[in-house]
Structure 1
Amino acid sequence: MELNQYLEVFIEESKEHIQACNEQLLELEKNPDDLTIINEIFRSAHTLKGMSATMGFEDLASLTHQMENVLDGIRNSRIKTSPEILDVIFIAVDHLEDMVESIAAGGDGKRDVSEAVDKLKRIEMGEHMSEPSRSETAAAIAESPGLAGFDEFELTVLKQSKDQGFGVFEITIALREDCLLKAARVYMVFEVLEKIGEIIKAVPSVEQLEEEQFDQEFSVTIVSKENPEEIKAKIMKVSEVSKTEVRDIDLEQSKQTENEREQTDAQIVEDPDKETEVARGPGKETSPVTETKSTKQTSSKTIRVNIERLDILMNLFEELVIDRGRLEQISKDLENPELTETVERMTRISGDLQNIILNMRMVQVETVFNRFPRMIRQLARDLDKKINLQVIGAETELDRTVIDEIGDPLVHLLRNSVDHGIESPEDRRKKGKNEEGTVFLRAYHSGNHVFIEIEDDGAGISRDKVLKKAISKGLVNERSAAGLTDQQVYEFILSSGFSTAEKVSDISGRGVGLDVVKNTIESLGGKISIDSAENKGTVFSIQLPLTLSIISVMLVGIANEKFAVPLSSIIETAIVKDSDIMNAHNQKVIDFRGKVVPLLFLKDVFEVPSDEQNDQFHSVILVRKGEKMAGLVVDSFIGQQEVVLKSLGNYLTNVFAISGATILGNGQVAMIVDCNALIK
């Protein structure tokens, strides 16, 4: 079978199952006795194991199989949940994540997981078992025919086998006390049983039997058409078997007696269209267990599409937008009513098509947010703090290109909140606060933007401390510092190399500051703002554009060149008299509604050749970056238009204040102005 064609699906589904394991393990930590959660984790691990084995990723399959054994012990009350056990399972999930990432990057997924496997085996062998011993557990189960803790899938197989005329038997086998090679005898018993029927379950587990982790007795559940006496006779032919008991399982009694367990285990049922492994004989891969597939076809309303295909579709549509602009220009020039009507109709249809394509590229921020609860848990343990992370608005959607870039800045901000923001439990108690700190991670739409906020109820930002550091670094002088607003002061912590941490830690406080976060967000066309109150908390607010590829701009003329200014940066446009322009500190400025706003003449900034003119009036575009404003002086306003943002390529990466280019309807290239770079 050619497996490469399934690799992409395997990677995507594996990531989903690993994420589900992480989420459910965090829930299990809060509710250690909730069988529903344990069953969900077991289901994800079981599916991942089956997929990995099918694809030939042995290390992945081995680790998930051992994880599954421990989870099975937990859900059958043989192992008691504890923080230490959960830590081991978390480590195992980390290994799984790394292996899947390796496979996604073209690797073989191999990894030394022996330490994690050994830890899981020790847990399974009984170091954390609530019962006195494995043999006592096996004996107790053997004394209860039909009540061996089957899951829903196993019960379904047994019931279907019974309906088809098969007998369902539980066989208890005892080896002689002087038996030396117990695993070999078990293997021989399994060989006999597989010739006369199908093995459904073994207690203790197959792995424990292989490693001789039992005394003399073990039990096996099989389906067979042979009668109990024939089965017993064939097993007794195996040397060193001292006793064999064959009991017919009463499925109805099993269902009634274990009704409560079935309600929780029902969630373990595998997807009806997937094959499921039930039991293995020692030294074998998978037993040819009865395959049950649902005859009822479920109607799928979603499909997986490679993101590269969506990128190609987007690129093609961008070309269509450029041609649409060209047609609109030709239509205006020719003034043909029929052509004008057709172009208008095409504009409406292409507008609808644009919305559909952009929506197809939208991804819920949940895909980024999902990894944070686990990260916060680990940080809280490392820092010996109590943190409650509240995620709100995870269903908010953003363009895939923005999603790809926003993860690292959010990690940095969250680590900053946990390390610098939230105080230690002792300090919080002294301040009269709950010793558990709360961090809110919110996302919501507003207009054509998405806002992501990180809020904590910690110590807040000390204005005096930040100002003192800013003055010592020469970012501001003492005279100017007194007139700064709180928001302007807080913005200093976004400066390069700025840190107020009193001691260096592995979490933060290495003098890196938050400038990396600021630069990344601004490169996406977004902005970050900070609000804080001492001893009450801090809010970092990030504003991001919904999409980066097709943007609305104001087209302006400078001499014979055309430039595009993104509408998201523009406050308004104005005509300014030459007499209203003043000079302050060698900078031309205007008084705009009581605020002094510096002017930037774009023809000088971009060195556009033009005839010297002494105009009495100037066309000015007022733009904003955070709290700062500037007026961009241009020769003329052309109008608003939707354009396709094209990269300048690898050779023009350092062009000042230009974020890209676009092709206009007349075929002319217009540069797109990066307003953030112009405002310092």
Structure 2
Amino acid sequence: MDTAQYLDVFIDESNEHIEVLYKKILDLEKDPNDKSIIEEIFRAAHTLKGMSATMGYNDLATLTHTLENVFDAIRYDRVHVQSNMIDLLVETVDHLNTMVEDIAGGGNGSHDIQEVARKLEMFEKGTANIKEEHVEDSLEAESSNHSNVFTDLDEFELSILNESKERGFQNFEITVELREDCLLKGARVFMVFEVLEKLGEVIKSSPSVNDLEEENFDYTFSVILVSNQPKDEIAKKIQKVSEIDSVTVQHFSVKKYRESREIEDQIQTMQKDNATVSNNIEDKSKEPDSAKSNQNKTIRVNIEKLDVLMNLFEELIIDRGSLEQISADLQNSDLMETVERMARVSSDLQNIILTMRMVPIDTVFSRFPRMVRKLARDLDKQVDIEIIGADTELDRTVIDEIGDPIVHLLRNAIDHGVETPEERLQKGKPEKGTIKLKAYHSGNHVFIEIADDGAGINKEKVLNKALNNGLLTEQDIEALSEQQIYQLIMESGFSTADKISDISGRGVGLDVVKNTIESLGGSISIDSILGKGSVFSIQLPLTLTIISALLVELNKEKFAIPLSSIIETAIISKGQILSAHHKKVIDFRGKVVPLVNLKDVFQVPDTATDEEYTSIVIVKKGEKMAALVVDSFIGQQEIVLKSLGSYLSNTFAISGATILGDGQVALIIDSNAIIK
């Protein structure tokens, strides 16, 4: 069966089953007696095994089959869940994940699974608590992968191999490769068989003995040998025969052989089932539409196709703006009505396309529980992670970038935030710390909060470090709010840790987290209570490609300010402009807000006017605000965010550009950079 056409579906569904395995194994650790969790894990493993066998990935199928056996033993109470078992189960799923990643990268999914399979079998047999040095010899013959060479052993031959094992002999699969310049292959085979007959009894050869004698083979042949000699000794004696390139000796497991044959039978059965299903589908396709089901159906779409669709729609938005401009100039009622209808339809289309690009944030969150568990164990801490709002959706572009900053913040919370069990008990806290990872929508933004019930942030320590680093003076400290003090830990090179740790930081400070989030058009704020814990709150835009913006004018040049940053627009008289610390400010609802002239920021020539009133845009970044001075407001418009390219990537206070309906290019202002 040609399985290439199913590869993408196989990879997608395998990843889904692996995520289920990860999640449910961690749930099982919390509630080992919940049979429903065990059933879900068993079903995921069983499905993954069948898919892998059908696709011909035998290592993946074999390891999943072994994992399935363990859970079969658990659900029928032959084995009880232990903490060290959870570690092994997570490690096993890591191996499965590695194999699927290899397949996705174009590999064949081959992986060394012998050791982890052996450990799983120990748990299945209830021998996992016996010291490994006592069981290793007895399990050694069972530890190798099944043979891919011998596929036709009959029951008589298998019974001989079983009996020899019971009598203390060992079964070996030996592969001999002759040199390519070997002239008399048959003679070399005869000499190898002479050596083998002195070491034990040859049960089977591949190719057959007749083919070997007549030299009907390339340069490699294999045999199954029953012997009481060590495998190193067997290899050494065979190597003494001249013109041999290599000799491989490994234990032959009858059990593994039988299991491999079961899997092959499954493959054949599934291939027949697939053929039947295909025929059924073909028959159903000939049925009339009335006979077809009206149930909702889903399809998988490559993300690159969605990117192309979004790019085409961006061009449509630009053309829509151009049409609106032409319509306004011509004042033709029919044209204006058509353009208005087109605007409504394109707005609906925009919402659908943006919704298609939305991905549940659970795709990022799902990998954190196992990471938190591993880090906590490495640090001898006890930490629970509670995830809230994993179904919150975010644009795929943002999803791709937000994972690493959250990982860094979680590492920081576990390493520096949550105390050791002893310290927590001394403070009257529960022995186990808790980290809450929460996501929710608010307006056109998504908020992600990482909260811990740890030690909190020591303000005095932060201020002393800031003074020593020259970030502040004694006079500056008095004017700082608590939020501003906490923000200092995100300055470059800032750390209050008494010793450097490999867990969090790794030589990279929280300034990298802050820069990544701000590059996505987001912001991060910190709140903390000493001894009680800390909360890191990340604010992100829902999407990065099409945004609503306010168009403004500076000396006949057009600029766009994202609406998500704007609090209010206003027109003030010159008499309302005040001065503080030699800088212009205004009183905005009882707060002193600095006044920033955009012409000065962007070096736009200023045409002197004696106008009494000034147009301003109040923008915010967290708790901070600024009033941006502009010449005039043009109006609100949906714009397509275009990158300025690598040469202009570091342009101050400009996050990109957009093409307007009249063909002009308007630069998009990054108000976060101005406030900073």
TM range (shorter): 0.7 to 0.9
Structure 2 Cα separation of the partners of residues 497 and 557 of structure 1? 39
Paired position in structure 1 for 2:436: 440
**Per-residue Cα deviation, 1:102-161 (whole angstroms, up to 9, x for no partner):** 33344444444443233334444552399xxx9xxxxxxxxxxxxxxxxxxxxxxxxxxx
Q: C-alpha displacement at 1:489, in angstroms? A: 0.7
Q: C-alpha displacement at 1:90, in angstroms? A: 0.9
Unaligned runs of 5+ in 2: 136-154, 173-202, 205-250, 285-292
2:552 match: secondary structure: strand
Alignment of 1:335-484 (within 5 A): 335-484=331-480
Paired position in structure 2 for 1:54: 54
Paired position in structure 1 for 2:504: 508
1:558 aligns with 2:554: yes
1:621/1:633 contact within 8 Å kept: yes
Structure 1 Cα separation of the partners of residues 491 and 632 of structure 2? 36
Paired position in structure 2 for 1:81: 81
**Taking structure 1 as the reference length, what is the TM-score of the superposition?**
0.75
Structure 2 Cα separation of the partners of residues 175 and 85 of structure 1? 34
Paired position in structure 1 for 2:601: 605
Paired residue type of 2:635:
G
Paired residue type of 1:70:
V
Q: C-alpha displacement at 1:599, in angstroms? A: 2.4
1:583/1:177 CA distance change after superposition, 3 Å: closer
1:577/1:618 contact within 8 Å kept: yes
- Farther-moved stretch of structure 1 (503-512 vs 9-18): 503-512
**Per-residue Cα deviation, 1:563-598 (whole angstroms, up to 9, x for no partner):** 000011111122233444445455433333443322
Q: C-alpha displacement at 1:460, in angstroms? A: 1.4
Q: C-alpha displacement at 1:383, in angstroms? A: 1.7
1:211 aligns with 2:191: no
Structure 2 Cα separation of the partners of residues 591 and 368 of structure 1? 43
1:455/1:540 contact within 8 Å kept: yes
1:625 aligns with 2:621: yes
Q: C-alpha displacement at 1:175, in angstroms? A: 6.7
1:388/1:438 contact within 8 Å kept: yes
- Farther-moved stretch of structure 1 (26-35 vs 572-581): 572-581
Structure 1 Cα separation of the partners of residues 107 and 264 of structure 2? 27
Paired residue type of 2:68:
E
Structure 2 Cα separation of the partners of residues 572 and 492 of structure 1? 28
Paired position in structure 2 for 1:520: 516
**Per-residue Cα deviation, 1:10-57 (whole angstroms, up to 9, x for no partner):** 221111011000011011112223333223222222222232333343
Structure 2 Cα separation of the partners of residues 571 and 58 of structure 1? 60
2:446/2:542 contact within 8 Å kept: yes
Paired residue type of 1:565:
I
1:25 aligns with 2:25: yes
Paired residue type of 2:517:
I
Paired residue type of 1:94:
D
Structure 2 Cα separation of the partners of residues 655 and 178 of structure 1? 75
**Per-residue Cα deviation, 1:212-266 (whole angstroms, up to 9, x for no partner):** 579xxxxx9xxxxxxxxxxxxxxxxxxxxxxxxxxxxxxxxxxxxxxxxxxxxxx
1:80/1:128 contact within 8 Å kept: no
Q: C-alpha displacement at 1:343, in angstroms? A: 1.1
**Per-residue Cα deviation, 1:457-496 (whole angstroms, up to 9, x for no partner):** 2211111111111111111112221332111111111111
Q: C-alpha displacement at 1:614, in angstroms? A: 5.0
2:466 match: secondary structure: helix
Alignment of 1:169-184 (within 5 A): 179-180=163-164
Q: C-alpha displacement at 1:181, in angstroms? A: 6.8
1:647 match: secondary structure: coil
Aligned residue pairs total 558
Paired residue type of 1:281:
R
Correspondence for 1:281 among 261, 280, 289:
261
1:46/1:68 contact within 8 Å kept: yes
Structure 1 Cα separation of the partners of residues 6 and 591 of structure 2? 61
1:329 aligns with 2:309: no
Paired position in structure 2 for 1:485: 481
Paired position in structure 2 for 1:536: 532
1:503/1:509 contact within 8 Å kept: no
Q: C-alpha displacement at 1:7, in angstroms? A: 2.1
Structure 2 Cα separation of the partners of residues 10 and 444 of structure 1? 32
2:559 match: secondary structure: strand
1:535 match: secondary structure: coil
1:177/1:504 CA distance change after superposition, 3 Å: closer
1:387/1:436 contact within 8 Å kept: yes
Q: C-alpha displacement at 1:516, in angstroms? A: 1.5
Q: Percent identity?
A: 61
Paired position in structure 1 for 2:185: none
- Farther-moved stretch of structure 1 (386-395 vs 66-75): 66-75
Structure 1 Cα separation of the partners of residues 621 and 162 of structure 2? 84
- Farther-moved stretch of structure 1 (15-24 vs 50-59): 50-59
Structure 2 Cα separation of the partners of residues 663 and 307 of structure 1? 25
Paired position in structure 1 for 2:213: none
1:345/1:478 CA distance change after superposition, 3 Å: same
Unaligned runs of 5+ in 1: 135-170, 189-208, 215-219, 221-278
Structure 1 Cα separation of the partners of residues 551 and 84 of structure 2? 62
Paired position in structure 1 for 2:563: 567
1:97 aligns with 2:97: yes
**Taking structure 2 as the reference length, what is the TM-score of the superposition?**
0.76
1:516/1:106 CA distance change after superposition, 3 Å: farther
1:596/1:78 CA distance change after superposition, 3 Å: same
Q: Which runs of 4+ in 1 moved over 6 A?
A: 174-178, 181-184, 290-298
Paired residue type of 1:517:
V
1:286/1:181 CA distance change after superposition, 3 Å: farther
Structure 1 Cα separation of the partners of residues 390 and 636 of structure 2? 33
2:490/2:514 contact within 8 Å kept: yes
**Per-residue Cα deviation, 1:324-345 (whole angstroms, up to 9, x for no partner):** 1111111111111111111111
Structure 1 Cα separation of the partners of residues 263 and 164 of structure 2? 19
1:668/1:288 CA distance change after superposition, 3 Å: closer
1:178/1:396 CA distance change after superposition, 3 Å: closer
Structure 1 Cα separation of the partners of residues 545 and 267 of structure 2? 53
1:40/1:613 CA distance change after superposition, 3 Å: same
Structure 2 Cα separation of the partners of residues 369 and 657 of structure 1? 32
Q: C-alpha displacement at 1:301, in angstroms? A: 2.1
1:129/1:583 CA distance change after superposition, 3 Å: closer
1:301 aligns with 2:343: no
1:482 match: secondary structure: helix
1:99/1:111 contact within 8 Å kept: yes
Q: C-alpha displacement at 1:549, in angstroms? A: 1.2
Q: C-alpha displacement at 1:91, in angstroms? A: 0.9
1:352 match: secondary structure: helix
**Per-residue Cα deviation, 1:142-198 (whole angstroms, up to 9, x for no partner):** xxxxxxxxxxxxxxxxxxxxxxxxxxxxx9xx97999437899xx99xxxxxxxxxx
1:36 match: secondary structure: helix
2:53/2:266 contact within 8 Å kept: no
Structure 2 Cα separation of the partners of residues 607 and 123 of structure 1? 72
Structure 2 Cα separation of the partners of residues 319 and 405 of structure 1? 25
2:570 match: secondary structure: strand
1:280/1:286 contact within 8 Å kept: no
Alignment of 1:4-153 (within 5 A): 4-124=4-124, 126-128=126-128
